[in-house]
Amino acid sequence: MAVASALLTLAAPAAHASAAPRAANGGPASAGCGGARAAVAAGLDGLVTRHGIPGAAAEGSDPACGRWTAARGVADLATGRPMNAGDRLRIGSVTKTFTATVVVQLAAEGRIGLDVPVERYLPGLIRGNGYDGGSITVRQLLQHTSGLPDYVEAIAVTPVDDWRLRHFEPRELIATALRMPHPDKTWHYATTNYLIAGLIVEKVTGHGVEAEVNRRILAPLGLRDTYWPGDSTDIRGPHSHSYFPTGPGPLADGTEWNTTFGGAGGALISTPADVNRFFRALFGGELMPARWLAEMRRTVPADPERLWPGARYGLGLIASPLSCGGMWWGHGGTVPGGHRALGATGPGGRSIALALTKVPDGDPAEADYRAVVDSAFCTTDRTPPQEGS
């Protein structure tokens, strides 16, 4: 989810380092994490000082040396409060992985068929303008190969103040998508797909997708900082603000937003720690049997103009190549107000979660953002993990 924005030069706020890295048991993290943390921290500093991101933070985790955090810039331009990796933020399309996980869990239980047409669950919903729910499967929804357009593209070009605080119903947004022209590519990223997936969850369980995510993921994993905001336009508890440009001049504060606009495809609020915990649990086999996780990891080529070069897409999962070989697996998210989040797990079980308070502007900034993720996995730590850390 994104809003087109003009490139803006911003006086960078002063950089702030986070506290020393900590291991999972609460003690100091091993020096074996030091190289990755230093590389990520340097990358965050570049996003702040060179590209005008007000604040950037990360939490990393490694089985050998525990958890660590890094933060640069400020969480609030008005007060100058330093950025903190423990702050909540809107995680945008990272929400899609939570929704896809519930759908695949229901498939594992025999309640949803991944290769069953949408029409069987939601008769008449996808019909008209050449769209047919009888020829679109659940798998194609989760994989973005349904051939459906993205309603976000129709709404985000209208004046922001006309829609940023209003309530949206999923069926209203789906209807908007069905009036749009057909995409011209086989793989087309569309939040529309995930609103439909959410309605399928509701149909087969009798509960909204939000309740099922809460019951099946958030509560069992103890993700206490992750929640669905509903119509509330605020973020509860300690949180970073988010910012977006509206033209020459100061950045606009986009923290206040009604994210029913994103729904099952983009409404969740979380923290880097909770996002990391979720992806570790998913890839660690805590949320579904291995056979069904393998279904999530069956990928198709993604559009490099929409995702990163060489990226592939599974069922609510992005797989992206690393400069050192292999892939990271996870998902990124962007919300119209300016927050950007990412959760990823790489070879060896190392994971990283990022939080930005503004979307990078332009190709150089986007490339530096990608480099931060790459550095988390491809930096070689010269110091071996210490015993007992």
Question: In this structure, what token pair is assigned to residue 175?
Answer: 């209807």
Q: Which residues, 6+ apart, have CB-to-CB distance to 338 below 8 Å?
A: 242, 243, 244, 251, 254, 357, 358, 359
Reading phi first (left if > 0) and then psi (alpha if -120 to 50, else beta), residue 88 is in: beta
User: Is residue 372 within 8 Å of residue 47, measured between CB atoms?
Assistant: yes
User: Is residue 375 within 8 Å of residue 127, measured between CB atoms?
Assistant: no
Q: Helix (H, G, I), strand (E, B), or coil: what is residue 273?
A: helix
> For residue 236, how many other CB atoms are within 10 A of its CB?
11
* Concatenated DSSP letters of 95-112: HHHHHHHHHHHHHHTTSS
- Give me the catalytic one of 18, 30, 93, 351: 93
Dist CA 355 CA 323 (whole Å): 22
Dist CA 123 CA 219 (whole Å): 32
Q: Which residues, 6+ apart, have CB-to-CB distance to 335 below 8 Å?
A: 1, 90, 92, 242, 254, 257, 259, 262, 266
In the chain, which residue ranges form alpha helices assigned H by DSSP? 34-51, 95-108, 118-121, 138-143, 151-155, 170-178, 191-205, 209-213, 219-221, 272-283, 290-296, 362-378
Respond yes or no: is residue 270 known to be catalytic. no
Dist CA 47 CA 266 (whole Å): 24
Question: In this structure, what token pair is assigned to residue 374?
Answer: 């790459």
User: Is residue 275 within 8 Å of residue 94, measured between CB atoms?
Assistant: yes
- Indicate which residues carry an active-site annotation: 93
